């Protein structure tokens, strides 16, 4: 049976890389979809030996279409034996979340990212049920990489059950364990929070960390704090030579 978490571990170990490529590109005019598809394909062809997964976001789903260009890209990525994550940050009522998950999993995505703010009952439970049925993964946002993350993920809440005041992200990390998530996202810009969240999750749930390079986070700090995977986008996709860039990043991580 396909187990997303185990597959990620196996590929990362075999290829000796923790880099998840965020296949993001800036807006381009809507009659240039063909060139966007080819740009995305070229980056994959260049960097696939050095990455352990690909994350796709609205940058490609909106202009290329889930069941048109993106499905073709997923097939190309799967041929290279790499899992594909849909970064849809699902954040709706359960009935809608179920349909979101069904469509993305049917398009071939191996895992989707969801937002725990909507809660379990009539919230994320239908996504986890669908993931189980279709043998796919669910990754939860626990603390995002941007500054405003502190307003929501960083706020303090009162945990009724435990009668204590805790940070929202601590509550989300505990829920990730309770709900059986396959991964959590914690920004590389907040390594101290990666450490705190890693202390809660132990080795049971891997941390995916975005925000490296352009957003100011450092890959090595994220890994030292307990991240399992580094999500890297524009530093690679916008580089003149994506292959050299990703190779250099991996070398730098190994040397530090
Ligand atoms: P970049 O390396 O270009 O900054 O891209 C990071 C990717 O990870 C983007 O797709 C972004 O939407 C996503 N992301 C993030 O940057 N921070 C988060 O907290 C969660 C994300 O999904």
Number of domains in the chain: 1
The answer to whether the beta carbons of residues 112 and 74 sit under 8 Å apart is: no
**pLDDT value of position 108:** 98
Largest distance between two CA atoms of the chain = 56
Q: Which two tokens stand for residue 146?
A: 């941007």
Domain hosting 241: range is: 3-255
pLDDT of residue 2: 63
Cα(31)–Cα(49) distance, integer angstroms: 31
Both tokens of residue 21? 């490529």
Ligand 1 atom at shortest distance from the alpha carbon of 215: 4
Q: Which of 89, 98, 125, 195 is catalytic?
A: 89
pLDDT at 1: 56
What is the Cα–Cα distance from 170 to 199, expressed in whole angstroms?
10
Report the pLDDT value the prediction gives residue 32, as an integer from 0 to 100.
Answer: 83
Q: What is the pLDDT of residues 71-98, one digit of tens each?
A: 999 999 999 999 999 999 999 999 999 9
Q: Which of 103, 100, 105 is nearest to 123 (CA)?
A: 100
Residues of the chain with pLDDT under 50: none
pLDDT score recorded for residue 31? 84
Give residue ranges with CB within 6 A of ligand 1: 22, 24, 57, 87, 144-145, 185, 187, 210-215, 231-235
C-alpha neighbours within 13 Å on the C-beta side of residue 31: 0
pLDDT of residue 232: 98
Q: What is the pLDDT of residue 256?
A: 75
Say what the pTM is: 0.98
The CATH number of whichever domain residue 77 belongs to comes to 3.20.20.70
């Amino acid at each position: 049976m396909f187990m997303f978490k185990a597959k990620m571990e196996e590929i990362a170990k075999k290829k000796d890389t923790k880099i998840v490529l965020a296949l993001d590109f800036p807006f381009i005019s809507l009659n240039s979809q063909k060139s966007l598809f080819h740009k995305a394909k070229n980056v994959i062809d260049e960097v696939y030996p050095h990455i352990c997964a690909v994350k796709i976001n609205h940058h490609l789903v909106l202009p290329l279409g889930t069941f048109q260009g993106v499905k073709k890209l997923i097939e190309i990525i799967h041929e290279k034996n790499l899992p594909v994550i849909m970064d849809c940050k699902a954040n709706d009522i359960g009935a809608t979340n179920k349909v979101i998950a069904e469509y993305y999993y049917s398009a071939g995505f191996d895992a989707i990212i969801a937002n725990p703010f909507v809660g379990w009952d009539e919230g994320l439970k239908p996504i986890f049920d669908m993931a189980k049925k279709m043998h796919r993964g669910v990754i939860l946002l626990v603390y995002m990489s941007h500054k405003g993350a502190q307003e929501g993920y960083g706020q303090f809440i009162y945990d009724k059950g435990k009668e204590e005041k805790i940070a929202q992200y601590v509550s989300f990390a505990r829920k990730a364990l309770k709900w059986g998530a396959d991964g959590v996202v914690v920004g590389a810009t907040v390594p101290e929070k990666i450490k705190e969240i890693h202390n809660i999750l132990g080795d049971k749930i891997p941390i995916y960390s975005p925000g490296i390079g352009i957003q100011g986070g450092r890959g090595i700090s994220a890994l030292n704090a307990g991240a399992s995977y580094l999500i890297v986008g524009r530093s690679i996709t916008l580089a003149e030579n994506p292959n050299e860039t990703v190779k250099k990043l991996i070398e730098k991580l190994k040397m530090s």
